[in-house]
C-alpha cells in the first residue's frame, strides 16, 4: 500500500480495503487489453440497468509529452547541494510541531505550516532565502492542515479542516494569511458535521493566482458524501463555483474517488485537472491513474485521460505541474515510472524508471523540465527526465533517522521538510536545496 493511501487511512481512522495492483513488467504492457464488465446480470425486475463497460486502455489518441517545450528556461542542473539545514524548533519552542506543508515566495523565502502535537493552534513560520528562521504567526483554528500555497504577493493560502470560525460552523476550507502579521481571512468551502463525516481534500491555486480550487470528499457514517469541486475567489474570499463531480468520476470509475484522489493541478488557460486512481472494473483491484480536466467554471473540458492500462496495475504516488504539464509518479510491480501529460494531451513514454518505491511520494520538477527531485533513503535524489539517469542521492545529514515529509520547488532550487533524529528526539527541519 502506498504512503499516500496509508496517510489518508490514518487520517480517516477507518478500516478501508487494501488496494494493490497486478504485476507489471519493466516494459509497458500491451495496450490491447479489453475492458471488463462493470456489473453482473440483473437479479430481478427491480435491478438497475447494467452500466456500460468503462474503458481500460491508456489514452494514446491525444498528443503525448515530447520533452521540454520550446522557450523553456535553461536548466539549473540537478539539485545536489544542501544550501542550508534549518532547525524549526524556535518557531514553537515549548512543544514539538510537525511540518505539514511548505511553499516558497517569489523572493526566495519559505513559508512552513507547523502543527503542534499538543493540539494547539498551528503556526506559520517564515525562513529567509539565506536559511534563517525569521518568525512565526498563529494560524486560524485548523484542526488539520492539508496544504499550503503561496500567492504572488507573498501571502499564504493554508488549506485544511477548519474548526468553528466567527461563531459559525467549520468545515473544509482555507485561510489567506499575511505571514508577517498573522492577519487572516477564512473561507469554509464545504460545511460538515465532524461527528458524521471524515473529510479529505486536494487543492491548488489557479495559474493566474485569482482562484483557489478545492476537491472535497469524505467518508460518511449515514449517507454518501457528495464529492465536489469548489472555486474560491482570492480577492473576496467568496465561493464562486461549485460542482458535484459524482457523474464525472463515474465516467471512469465504478466507485467514488475518495482517498484515490491524488491531486488537483492548475491548467494554464484556467481551471483544474483532477488526478485520481480510477477503478474501471467492479470486483477487480487494479487501478488506472486518470486525469479529469475542468475549465475555469468547473465544467468538464475534454475526455478523461488514462495514463496506463488496467493490466499495468499502476497507482499514483506523486503529482506536480510545470508550465501546464502534469508530471506523475506511478508505482508498478517492480518500481516506479515518471510520466508526463501536456494540457489537453494523452499518455506518453516513461521518462524514468525508479527502483525505490518506498520513497516515491513527493516530486519536484524544475521549470526547464529536465531534472526532477524525489525523496531518498537518506535524503533526496535527482533524476534526469531526458535520459532517466540518477546521480547518487543527496545526504541530508540525519544519522539518527530521517523522515522527509514533502518537497517543493522554488525560484532557484527546492525545499525539503520533515524530521531529523530518532522518534523520541526528533527535530522539525527544513532543507534548502540547489544545484
Domain ranges of the chain: 3-13+76-434
pLDDT at 334: 83
Provide the pLDDT for residue 224: 74
Asked if residue 7 has pLDDT above 80, the reply is no
Query: 284: pLDDT confidence band, cut at 50, 70 and 90?
Result: confident
* Pairwise CA distance, residues 351 & 327, whole Å: 10
Per-residue pLDDT averaged across 394-416, rounded? 92
What is d(CA 55, CA 347) in angstroms, rounded to the nearest whole number? 14
Whole-number average pLDDT of the chain:
88
Burial of 116 per CB tally in 10 Å (0-12, 13-18, 19+)? middle
**Phi and psi, residue 246, nearest 5°:** -55, -50
Residue 86, pLDDT above cutoff 50: yes
Contact (Cβ atoms closer than 8 angstroms) between residue 141 and residue 161 = no
Q: What is the rounded CA–CA span in Å between residue 73 and residue 163?
A: 43
pLDDT above 70: residue 28: no
Tell me how far apart the alpha carbons of residues 124 and 126 are, in angstroms, rounded to a whole number: 7
The 8 Å CB, 24+ separation contacts for 364-367 are: 364/79, 364/320, 364/407, 364/408, 364/409, 364/414, 365/320, 365/322, 365/327, 365/409, 366/75, 366/76, 366/79, 366/322, 366/409, 367/72, 367/73, 367/322, 367/323, 367/409
pLDDT at 102 over 50: yes
Give the model's pLDDT for residue 50. Answer: 58
pLDDT at 288 over 60: yes
Q: What digits encode the pLDDT tens for the residues 293-348?
A: 999 999 999 999 999 999 999 999 999 999 999 999 999 988 999 999 999 999 99
Q: What is the pLDDT of residues 161-200, one digit of tens each?
A: 998 876 667 899 999 999 999 999 999 999 987 777 889 9
Residue 2 has pLDDT above 50, yes or no: no
Higher pLDDT, 306 or 19: 306
End-to-end CA distance of the chain: 33
What are the residues facing 19 on neighbouring strands?
A: none
- What is the mean predicted confidence (pLDDT) over 364-390? 97
Chain segment 200-234, per-residue pLDDT in tens: 999 999 999 999 999 999 987 666 789 999 999 99
Tens of pLDDT along 138-158?
999 999 999 999 999 999 999
Tell which phi-psi region holds residue 378, choosing left (phi > 0), alpha (psi between -120 and 50) or beta: alpha
Q: Which of 20-24, 88-92, 109-113, 180-184 has the lowest average pLDDT?
A: 20-24
CB 100 within 8 A of CB 122: yes
Higher pLDDT, 108 or 39: 108
Q: Which CATH number fits domain 3-13+76-434: 1.10.10.60, 3.40.50.360, 3.20.20.70, 2.130.10.10?
A: 2.130.10.10
Percent of the chain with pLDDT over 70: 87
Confidence of residue 22 (pLDDT cuts 50, 70, 90): very low
Distance CA 275, CA 308 (A): 13
Residue 337's region, left for phi above 0, alpha for psi from -120 to 50, else beta, is beta
Strands 325-332 and 315-322: antiparallel
Write down the pLDDT at residue 233: 98
Query: From CA 26, how far away is CA 44, in angstroms rounded?
Result: 45
- Read off the pLDDT of residues 30-63 as tens digits, 9 standing for 90 and up: 333 333 333 334 444 455 555 678 999 999 999 9
C-alpha to C-alpha distance for 90 and 135, rounded to whole angstroms: 9
Among the ranges given (1-5, 400-404, 407-411), the one the predictor scored with the smallest mean pLDDT: 1-5
Ordered alpha helix ranges (H), 158-302: 246-250
Chain centroid to CA 312: 22
Q: What's the pLDDT at 49?
A: 55
Amino acid at each position: 500500500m502506498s504512503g499516500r493511501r496509508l496517510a489518508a487511512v490514518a487520517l480517516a481512522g477507518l478500516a478501508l480495503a487494501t488496494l494493490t495492483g497486478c504485476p507489471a513488467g519493466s516494459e509497458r504492457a500491451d495496450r490491447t487489453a479489453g475492458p471488463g464488465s462493470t456489473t453482473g446480470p440483473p437479479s430481478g425486475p427491480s435491478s438497475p440497468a447494467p452500466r456500460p463497460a468503462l474503458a481500460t486502455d491508456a489514452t494514446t489518441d491525444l498528443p503525448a509529452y515530447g520533452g521540454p517545450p520550446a522557450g523553456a528556461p535553461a536548466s539549473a542542473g540537478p539539485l545536489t547541494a544542501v544550501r542550508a539545514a534549518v532547525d524549526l524548533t524556535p518557531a514553537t519552542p515549548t512543544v514539538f510541531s510537525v511540518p505539514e506543508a511548505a511553499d516558497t515566495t517569489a523572493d526566495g523565502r519559505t513559508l512552513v505550516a507547523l502543527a503542534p502535537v499538543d493540539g494547539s493552534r498551528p503556526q506559520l513560520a517564515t525562513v529567509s532565502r539565506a536559511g534563517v528562521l525569521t518568525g512565526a504567526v498563529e494560524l486560524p483554528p485548523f484542526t488539520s492542515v492539508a496544504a499550503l500555497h503561496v500567492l504572488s504577493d507573498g501571502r499564504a493560502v493554508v488549506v485544511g479542516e477548519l474548526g468553528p470560525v466567527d461563531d459559525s460552523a467549520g468545515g473544509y476550507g482555507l485561510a489567506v494569511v499575511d505571514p508577517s502579521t498573522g492577519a487572516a481571512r477564512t473561507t469554509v468551502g464545504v460545511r460538515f458535521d465532524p461527528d458524521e463525516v471524515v473529510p479529505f481534500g486536494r487543492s491548488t491555486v489557479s495559474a493566474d493566482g485569482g482562484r483557489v480550487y478545492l476537491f472535497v470528499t469524505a467518508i460518511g457514517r449515514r449517507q454518501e458524501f457528495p464529492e465536489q469541486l469548489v472555486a474560491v475567489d482570492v480577492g473576496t474570499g467568496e465561493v464562486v463555483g461549485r460542482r458535484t463531480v459524482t457523474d464525472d468520476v463515474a465516467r471512469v470509475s465504478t466507485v467514488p474517488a475518495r482517498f484515490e484522489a491524488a491531486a488537483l493541478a492548475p491548467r494554464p488557460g484556467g481551471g483544474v485537472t483532477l488526478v485520481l486512481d480510477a477503478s474501471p472494473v467492479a470486483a477487480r483491484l487494479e487501478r488506472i491513474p486518470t486525469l479529469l480536466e475542468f475549465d475555469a467554471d468547473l465544467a468538464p473540458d475534454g475526455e478523461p485521460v488514462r495514463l496506463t492500462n488496467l493490466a499495468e496495475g499502476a497507482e499514483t504516488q506523486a503529482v506536480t505541474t510545470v508550465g501546464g504539464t502534469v508530471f506523475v509518479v506511478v508505482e508498478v510491480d517492480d518500481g516506479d515510472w515518471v510520466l508526463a501529460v501536456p494540457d489537453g494531451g494523452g499518455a506518453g513514454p516513461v521518462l524514468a524508471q525508479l527502483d525505490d518505491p518506498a520513497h516515491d511520494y513527493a516530486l519536484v520538477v524544475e521549470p526547464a523540465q529536465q531534472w526532477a527531485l524525489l525523496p531518498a533513503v537518506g535524503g533526496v535524489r535527482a533524476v534526469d527526465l531526458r535520459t532517466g539517469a540518477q546521480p547518487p542521492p543527496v545526504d541530508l545529514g540525519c544519522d539518527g533517522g530521517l523522515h522527509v515529509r514533502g518537497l517543493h520547488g522554488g525560484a532557484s532550487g527546492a525545499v525539503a521538510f520533515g524530521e531529523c533524529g530518532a522518534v523520541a528526539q526528533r527535530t522539525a527541519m527544513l532543507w534548502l536545496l540547489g544545484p
